[in-house]
Chain A
Amino acid sequence: MSKGARAGLVMVAFAAAIGIILFGVFGYLRSSPPVVSAVPSATQPNTVNVTMQVDGAVGVGPHPTWVGYWIQGANGQYKQTTLLKVPVNTYVHVKLYEYDSGGPLRNPYWGKEIGTAGNVIVVNGQPVSLVNSYAGNGVAHNFDVPGLGVNVALPGVNGNAKNFCNVGPCNPSEAHNLIQFTFYSGKTVHNYRWQCFIPCGLGYLTGNGGPMQSLGYMAGFVQVVK
């Protein structure tokens, strides 16, 4: 091979390598969990329904051991995500299957159910307005949307239950709390962030890394749209 051909080959290989690296970097940066739209209620006006589940380990994707949410789409299929789309000026009725064990809040204040209809949630048929995370099974996670003034403390299940769900996606034959609440999506079109207050990022500094700071796990958005 001539010197010129060799130099050309090296340059082409170099360009290809840079291209592949950039493709990977941008693919990673732009990757995002899927968006699931809430389903309009068949009976109630201005109301949408959402079914979600929280698993101690989501079981899929790049971090199968991380704690996270699954949200059910219109076709009844669960998607592993924390991006929820709801219409503006709408009551969002949430049915949430909580499969994870609980613990103490760093600040027990966040055991208070705030901003849901009646400032209550319904846990296995019982109304609850305040969860003491220092007792019982503690709080598993929070569904906290500061921009909508919503904080839902989700009571945990017994981690030693025989039918405890170790790997998601979980199903209702396994230990769970069925939690229902309704919140109002407000009058403003906006992406409202959502977060958790239980330091559930196991293995990270004070439990606040990993899933706590990642979309699709404990961090998400309620996308309020027209």
Chain B
Amino acid sequence: MALKTSEESGSPAAIARKHGSRIVAIWFILSLIIDLVVWFVWGPHMPPGDMTTTAAGQQFDFKVLTVMSVPVLLMVWVYGAYVIINFRDRGDHADGYYVKGNRKSQGLWYAATAVLVLFLAGFGTYELVVPAGAGVGEGPSPIWKPASTAHMLQVQVIAQQWRFTYRWPQFGGMETTSLVLPVNTEIQFNVTSLDVIHDFWAYQLGVKADANPEDNNVAYTKTQQTGRFVVRCDELCGIWHGAMYNYGNVVSQNAFYQWATNMEAQNASLTKLLPKYSTVYVPNDNVAGGQYFNG
């Protein structure tokens, strides 16, 4: 590889500076263009969407991470491409310019990458808990709560091999297989399990919380758009784990209220058979039917 090509003149250092500033210019312009495309064109389509505040928060994180990593990737690619194009052996078989360490560029590289990594560590840690726990299960006594909890909808998520059901303490403690949520509403999920460990992952809601038996795992979110979302179990839980999913809907507040009150009336006789609502749902095996599953 010959740094000094036939048309070039001047000291090796001057030639190196010329190439260096060209590389930096190409890198800067490309990074700017691609970052703008990432933020404004691709960004709004990044998972998990923006159906809720927590989903939007996660989308924002992905946008920031991608915008930050594009210049790093491009520096490597642009430099590589520039070298391949410009410093090829053009037949003179001359040895290349002997490059020794360059304090300035090394220092700059260390400083820039250190700042980037430390910033992302701080940013990531902050974003893990904002807003209101970022849609992640916070255990039975959450630390990061929504600012206003006055009009919060309570939904208990009951995982069981191999289906989810939902309980609604504000609607007579009824239980349903479908998950319907009102838009523009603060929601508290109380996630629990009746047997092994499952995981409630409402993908488009940006909510994910482990379902542990005899434990209440609280996660918050606020709906901000109507639409369909999928709920998946994300903890290997037996033969039908892969089939343990269902779809839910965020609907208008009116439609939700109608659905909920209809359900409450329809399920009244069934609700009477359910244990009294509690954030910890412990199966009762000490009843007339017998102690079937302790054998």
Contact = CB atoms under 8 A, between A and B. Distances in A.
A108 B294 CA distance: 17
A200 B292 CA distance: 7
Nearest to B282: A106
B195 A109 contact: no
A226 to B, nearest CB: 22
A106 B283 contact: yes
A147 B240 CA distance: 12
B293 interface: yes
Contacts of A199: 195, 292-293
A206 B289 contact: no
A212 B275 CA distance: 24
Interface string A189-222: 0000101011110110111100011100001000
Interface centre among A103, A112, A156, A214 (most CB of B within 10 A): A103
B288 A136 contact: yes
B160 interface: yes
Interface in B249-278: 267, 269-270, 273-275
A203 B195 CA distance: 15
Nearest to B291: A103
A107 B289 contact: no
Interface stretch (B35-43, B81-89, B161-169): B161-169
B284 A134 contact: yes
B243 interface: yes
B295 interface: yes
Contacts of B285: 103-104, 106
Interface string B173-203: 0010100000000000000001110000000
Interface in A89-140: 101-109, 111-112, 114, 130, 132-139
B226 to A, nearest CB: 23
Contact of A213 (B158, B238, B275, B281): B238
Nearest to B158: A107
Contacts of A200: 292-293
A27 B270 CA distance: 46
Given A109-B270, A193-B240, A103 B293 contact: yes
A172 interface: no
A213 B236 CA distance: 13
A112 B267 CA distance: 9
Contacts of A104: 283-285, 287-290, 292
Contact of B289 (A134, A144, A147, A202): A134
Interface centre among B175, B273, B291 (most CB of A within 10 A): B273
B290 A195 contact: no
Given A106-B195, A108-B274, A130-B269, A138 B162 contact: no
B282 to A, nearest CB: 9
A106 B289 contact: no
A159 interface: yes
A108 B177 CA distance: 13
A132 B177 CA distance: 18
13 contacts: A102-B290, A103-B292, A104-B285, A106-B160, A109-B165, A134-B273, A134-B287, A138-B288, A138-B289, A195-B161, A195-B240, A198-B293, A213-B238
Given A103-B292, A106-B195, A134-B287, 16 more contacts: A101-B292, A103-B291, A106-B285, A107-B283, A109-B274, A111-B273, A135-B289, A138-B288, A144-B163, A147-B243, A199-B293, A200-B292, A206-B196, A206-B293, A207-B295, A208-B161
Q: Which 5 A-B pairs have the closest CB atoms?
A: A103-B292, A138-B289, A207-B293, A199-B293, A106-B283
